[in-house]
Amino acid sequence: MSVVYNGSLSQRGLLCLRCPQNLPENLDVADMIHTTSLSETEFPYTYDQLKDQGMPARCFPKNIFLRNLPAMSSSGEAFSPIFGMQIYFFDGGMIVATICHHGIFSGEERAKFTQTLASNCKNIGEGKRFEDTEYAYAHDQEAQDHIWASLTPPPPYDWRGVLKQCPEFTTCEGGNEEPIKDNTSVTSRLFTFSAASIRQLKDSIINQLSDSVRDRCANTAASEDPGRKDNPLHSLSSFVCLTALVWHHLTLARVPRLDPEEPSSIFIPVNLRMRGLVPSMAFPGCSILEPCAELPVAEVASSAPDTLFKLAQFVRNAIDQVDHAYLSQRLQLFTSIPDVTELRHTGETARCRAGFKMNNWAMFGADAEWNIVGTATGAPEWVRKPWSAIEGYAIVLPRKNDPDADWEVTLGLREEDMEQLLGDNEFMASVKRVVE
């Protein structure tokens, strides 16, 4: 299954992904799902060895676990995979790897797909039938145009003026594209935080609230709508508090090479469906925007006792700015810029050397029950992102739906910055384990 970029529509400010609407009659599942056994030469680890090491991402290099499938063989730069699954058997264990195109699947859709597939595998293993589910996706162009027309005011727009209001985007006009990264060595680590340490972090931040607001936190029922902006438990969620902690200490690690007054940018992917901004069943594709917010390095790295509280509030405000007006403004930019391929994400340019992105995969399928015949556990014991080191990119990995489950965060930094972070006693005091 593949997607081809249609450059002819770029004159309208659109980047079209042309996909087949009907599956070919002779489609072979082997073209999408590939199964193989890894030899000891290819993969010199046993499951128990990996488990003892904490399943380090460095043991899952992309050249082994992201092999091209027959249906995904490249036919040029314009070709990208939509979906592929690879199943690897090795000494004592099994790895299920999936590849998805972000233009087709957001994390939410990927989680739904994985959970549905797992449920069907479980039913088959138990000798049960599974029912086909029909999804009412509005895949025809007329329906799609109606959806976006309802969200976007009519043109024309001054796209340069709109761009100034969208700090997460920049352009590379006239060949003056900023370098994405300089030639520095980047490394990655996986930091594990116990649930108790995250609760302690959250409590310490809540203690910075006024007495009246803190009382509201204590009296708010756990079942209260977590999407309400006036819900103090929502505004100071575990993810928000963890993001504040990582942002603060990551910036401290970079301080030796930064100007105190230069901006430290934070990018947080926000799912538009979960915020009720687009119809959940209108289309299966990606529905993510990444709000950007900036503070001076000196403020982020401040040793003041209320720094984490201020950063947590700042992170929450960055997320809450994503509303209908925010979405409409981005759609104005996408539909008015002459060539949408000229847009660059600010976080991918040299301007963002003091910033970072914090992505949240915590709810994406770690509890899916597969019950695969021959496995010792019904659900996967570990979820990992194949090894990659992207500077300033943090991901909260999928987490079990258990109050006492650990939080795992993979973080990429320059080698010298990572050395500083690992030597930060205050940060490391909250870390349960570090895996390379």
Write out the two tokens for 316: 């929450």
Confidence of residue 10 (pLDDT cuts 50, 70, 90): very low
Per-residue model confidence (pLDDT) at position 285: 67
Q: Which segment of 180-194, 209-223, 295-309 scores lowest on mean pLDDT?
A: 209-223
| CA–CA dist 51, 322 (Å, integer) | 40
CA torsion angle 279 280 281 284 (round to 10): 110
Please indicate, yes or no, whether residues 74 and 188 belong to a single structural domain of this protein. no
Highest mean pLDDT out of 25-39, 144-158, 321-335:
321-335
| CA–CA dist 249, 420 (Å, integer) | 9
Q: Is 385 exposed, middle or buried (CB count within 10 Å of its CB: 0-12, 13-18, 19+)?
A: middle
**By residue range, what is the domain housing residue 21?**
2-101
Per-residue pLDDT tens digits for 231-247: 555 578 999 999 999 99
Q: Within a domain: residue 285?
A: yes
Please indicate, yes or no, whether residues 78 and 188 belong to a single structural domain of this protein. no
Write out the two tokens for 305: 């006792």
Per-residue model confidence (pLDDT) at position 4: 39
Average pLDDT (284-290) is: 77
Q: What are the CA-CA distances from residue 31 to residues 27, 83, 162, 350 (Å)?
A: 8, 10, 43, 39
The residue type found at 324 is: H
Q: Tell me, what DSSP letter sits at residue 214?
A: H
Average pLDDT (124-142) is: 62
Is it the case that residue 196 has pLDDT exceeding 90?
A: yes
Write out the two tokens for 242: 């963890």
Percent of the chain whose predicted confidence (pLDDT) is above 90 = 34
Q: Which of 101, 119, 136 is the last residue of a domain?
A: 101
Is it the case that residue 321 has pLDDT exceeding 80?
A: yes
Write out the two tokens for 215: 């009382």
Please indicate, yes or no, whether residues 90 and 182 belong to a single structural domain of this protein. no
As a residue count, the chain comes to: 436
* CATH number of the CATH domain containing 34: 3.30.559.10
Q: Which of 65, 83, 101 is the last residue of a domain?
A: 101
User: Which one has a higher pLDDT value, 176 or 386?
Assistant: 386
Residue 171 neighbours by CB under 8 Å, 6+ apart = 163, 337, 342, 343, 344
Residues 178/349, Cβ–Cβ less than 8 Å: yes
Q: Within a domain: residue 90?
A: yes
Please indicate, yes or no, whether residues 293 and 420 belong to a single structural domain of this protein. yes
Per-residue pLDDT tens digits for 55-102: 998 898 877 776 555 544 444 434 455 677 888 999 999 998 887 777
User: Which one has a higher pLDDT value, 225 or 22?
Assistant: 22
Residues 233/210, Cβ–Cβ less than 8 Å: no
Per-residue pLDDT tens digits for 386-436: 777 788 889 999 999 899 999 999 999 999 999 999 999 999 999 999 998
